């Protein structure tokens, strides 16, 4: 990892980011899921959405979200490809209204990773492998991110968000990040 960019990731810079507040310490990793349109994979729609290039005429659902300005630091596709949208040292717009251990505005101090998927469909072996690798790299680069400071979007925005959902195997993921590479 060099200056907030993951060397194994394909770069697709998003404008939906900004500097972290002065003195903000990266100390939380947030796991999300996304599929566009919902329940469909591939097609490049997520990249277009995070870079403000989504064509609202391409699918009826896109008219509902085309004006949203959101991003994530990283995306893990169904095939396990890692795509980076925002430098890890910067603030991506992934968490929205959120709170972790009494501290609000999680975007200020977190790194967001999207998994291409839904709450109810199992994630792929390739996704768990890539997510584990990049999580360990993040934990090495940002020591305040510990196994106890990894949360789902559902945990930091309860009642508003449900991802990564019941299909995400937290036990499997924790076993991966706690094992030696």
CA distances from 163 to 12, 115, 140 (A): 23, 10, 25
Q: Give one DSSP letter per residue of 62-112, joined into a string.
A: HHHHTT-----SEEE-TT--EEE-S-TTSEES-S-S-EETTEE-GGGTEEE
Residue 114 appears among annotated catalytic residues? yes
Note whether 129 and 147 are within 8 A (CB).
no
Instruction: State how far the alpha carbon of 171 is from the alpha carbons of 84, 96, 166, 174, 177, in Å.
Output: 25, 26, 12, 5, 10
d(CA 107, CA 93): 6
Structure tokens at 146: 């510990």
Catalytic residue, chosen from 114, 116, 121, 180, is 114
Q: What is the token pair recorded at 124?
A: 């792929």
Tokens of 110: 């977190």
| Separation between Cα atoms, residue 138 and residue 158, nearest integer Å | 25
Residues designated catalytic: 114
């Amino acid at each position: 990892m060099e200056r907030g960019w993951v060397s194994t990731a394909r770069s697709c810079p998003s404008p939906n980011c900004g500097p972290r507040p002065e003195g903000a310490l990266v100390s939380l990793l947030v796991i999300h899921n996304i599929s566009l349109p919902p329940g469909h994979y591939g097609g490049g729609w997520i990249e277009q959405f995070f870079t403000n290039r989504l064509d609202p005429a391409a699918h009826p659902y896109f008219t509902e979200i085309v004006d949203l300005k959101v991003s994530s630091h990283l995306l893990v596709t169904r095939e396990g490809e890692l795509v980076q949208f925002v430098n890890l040292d910067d603030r991506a717009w992934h968490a929205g209204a959120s709170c972790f251990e009494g501290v609000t505005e999680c975007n200020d101090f977190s790194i967001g990773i999207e998994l291409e998927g839904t709450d109810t469909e199992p994630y792929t072996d390739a996704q768990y492998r890539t997510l584990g690798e990049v999580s360990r790299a993040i934990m090495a680069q940002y020591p305040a991110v510990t196994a106890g400071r990894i949360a789902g979007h559902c945990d930091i925005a309860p009642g508003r968000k449900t991802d990564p959902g019941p299909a995400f195997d937290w036990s499997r993921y924790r076993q991966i990040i706690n094992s030696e590479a």
